[in-house]
Amino acid sequence: CDRLENEKNVVLVGYMGSGKSTVSKVLARKLSYEKLDTDSLIEETYETSISDIFASKSEAAFRDMETRQLEVLCGEKHDGLVLATGGGLPLREINRRLLSKLGKVVYLKASAEAVYDRIKGDTTRPLLQVDDPKAKIGQMLEERGKYYEMAADIVIDTDGKSPEAVADEIIKAM
């Protein structure tokens, strides 16, 4: 796919619980764009849940599915797309390259505290089913921050902001 052709598309990256899904909905509504989400596309394609893929296959198998999903999206024509992505997707260099071709990449930056508040009690994220999710979130944010930054054209601080406000900020920054 071609970066120039996809200039108006928006790709949201960031850690779990940074608000990608919610913001993508608001943004798609405001821009009258189509909204897609790599996690949901993978669940539809393989007719199973992310938790099940991690449990019955492996995280590596899931990462391969993410790359494959981006390749499929790149092969399609999308005129006005908001794409929300899985929190680990920008870690792979090939994925960052594909993302940059799919559209403007926006990193929704969130603090460990804000993330924890949003995801506590959630059982659908296999990587956070640990004894001390708070510590795990802090550690993963530390490790992943540079990859989100590398992937991003635009960085938005989301702490204390409503999804509406974040969406407006993205539109302004585009």
The residue ranges that bind ligand S3P (CB under 6 A) are: 16, 20, 39, 50, 86-88, 125-127
Q: Which is nearer to ligand S3P, 8 or 163 (CB)?
A: 163
Q: Tokens 């949201």 sit at which residue?
A: 12
- Residue 89 has what DSSP assignment? G
Q: Which is nearer to ligand S3P, 5 or 43 (CB)?
A: 43
Closest distance of CB 97 from ligand S3P, Å: 19
Sheet containing strand 81-84, strands side by side: 34-37, 81-84, 10-13, 104-109, 154-157
Classified as helix, coil or strand, 30 is: helix
Q: Which is nearer to ligand S3P, 8 or 21 (CB)?
A: 21
Q: Which is nearer to ligand S3P, 50 or 151 (CB)?
A: 50
Q: Which is nearer to ligand S3P, 22 or 100 (CB)?
A: 22
Closest distance of CB 106 from ligand S3P, Å: 14
Closest distance of CB 4 from ligand S3P, Å: 28
Between CA 156 and CA 11 the distance in angstroms is 13
Classified as helix, coil or strand, 156 is: strand
Answer for the pair 119, 16: CB distance below 8 angstroms, yes or no.
yes
Between CA 26 and CA 166 the distance in angstroms is 9
Closest distance of CB 6 from ligand S3P, Å: 21
Q: Tokens 């996690």 sit at which residue?
A: 39
Closest distance of CB 89 from ligand S3P, Å: 7
